[in-house]
Amino acid sequence: MSAAAYAEVFRPPSRTLDAEQVRLRSRRGRSAQSNDSGRFELHAYVPVDDGWSEEAPAPLVTTVTLERPKTIITRNDSPDISFDRSINPYRGCEHGCIYCFARPTHAYMGLSPGLDFESKLFAKPDAASLLERELAAKNYTPRTIAIGTNTDPYQPIERQHRVMRQVLEVLARARHPVGIVTKSALVLRDLDLLVPMAEKGLVKVALSVTTLDPALARKMEPRAAVPEKRLATLQALAEAGVPTCVMVAPIIPALNDSEIETILARAKAIGVGEAGYVMLRLPLELHALFSEWLNAHYPDKARHILSLIRSTRAGRKYDSTFGKRMTGSGPYAWMIGRRFEAAAAKLGFGRSRLKLRHDLFIPPPRTGEQLQLL
């Protein structure tokens, strides 16, 4: 066989889409640009399009694995956060926010903090029963439980699995204080639980509003509620009597920092009571993932944005020092902090935070324990 005939026979099949178009189509609705192996893996696996496959990669499908932990309340002793315990109903998050600092935790499961984090999820169906058992322990002392500090408890799979709903039912029966952080309008489904808890001073709900630009939001957080929907959710919560907080988080230098004052003003106008912010954090694999995303969507600004981010972290990719990791350090971070404080004070957001009640707690009955008649 001649060389020309051989080349014709074994020539890779022609495509109607180029390799980049195929790649984009296969991960529509996802923000991560890659799915490289986590930091604990012995071997790194990187997909390569060699041009020989006749079929385009199938779109990523969300899968959910049921996880059976032995405990559900996670404890921490970090001096720079306001809670010492939290619950995570899910691992991974389908919202797919490219900046999510929880992405590196997926490496503990042998998965990638990239596309795996937003498509290979874990649900904890026993969370409510575990919580009841832990709250019933003789030595348990009630303090506010934070939910949504790692991954969103109201992400899309909550509609089917209802783990957050079951956890909230346990907390409501026990009259236990809870602080919730989400980006989802699905939280309104649980108003029948949240309103009575709010009347007792047992709950507060925060929504993160990263931007008011729907185009930027679609790129950064492709499966989260659009910005206007989040503001409408905050308004509905406030009108129902549920204490609310708007989180301008994360603030990304030269990308969304110009919106601080506008987001705060919109939130105040709809009755939101508290406000906070967090400077962008890029620990471990997240720095590379965010850099890839920047180069894909904002190639002309990527170097400038990354330079500003390093300036808020003492010239490094990330600084995990307590007291600095949430706000950053240096002149740029100082300026962001003063802008936020000035805007919040002008609008009437106080520095004090609503303290939830701990004195109404009723421990769930322990196994074999007789229920009280009165």
pTM of the model: 0.88
Give the pLDDT band of residue 15 (cuts 50, 70, 90). Answer: very low
**Residue 249 confidence (pLDDT) above 50:** yes
Q: Is residue 292 part of a domain?
A: yes
Q: Is residue 6 part of a domain?
A: no
Angstrom distance (rounded) from CA 142 to CA 122: 27
Question: How crowded is the C-beta side of 266, counted as CA atoms within 13 Å?
Answer: 20
**Cross-strand bridge partners of residue 205:** 180, 244
- 57: Cβ–Cβ under 8 A, 6 or more apart, which residues? 22, 23, 26
Q: Is residue 1 part of a domain?
A: no
Q: Is residue 8 part of a domain?
A: no
93, 80 Cβ separation under 8 angstroms: no
- 269: Cβ–Cβ under 8 A, 6 or more apart, which residues? none
Q: Is residue 359 part of a domain?
A: no
Residue 366: predicted pLDDT: 77
Within 10 A of 238 (CB to CB), how many other CB atoms are there?
17
Give the pLDDT band of residue 369 (cuts 50, 70, 90). Answer: low
Q: Using DSSP bridges, classify how beta strands 85-87 and 73-75 pair: parallel, antiparallel or unpaired.
A: antiparallel
Question: How crowded is the C-beta side of 350, counted as CA atoms within 13 Å?
Answer: 4
Residue 57: predicted pLDDT: 67
Residue 24: predicted pLDDT: 53
Within 10 A of 85 (CB to CB), how many other CB atoms are there?
14
Q: Is residue 110 part of a domain?
A: yes
Q: Is residue 136 part of a domain?
A: yes
Phi and psi of 363, rounded to 5°?
-60, 140
Residue 7: predicted pLDDT: 46
pLDDT, tens only, 300-358 = 999 999 999 999 999 999 999 998 899 999 999 999 999 999 999 999 998 788 999 99
Which CATH number characterizes residue 117's domain? 3.80.30.30
**Residue 44 confidence (pLDDT) above 80:** no
Q: Is residue 355 part of a domain?
A: no
> What range defines the domain where residue 254 resides?
22-48+61-347
- Count of the separate structural domains present in the chain: 1
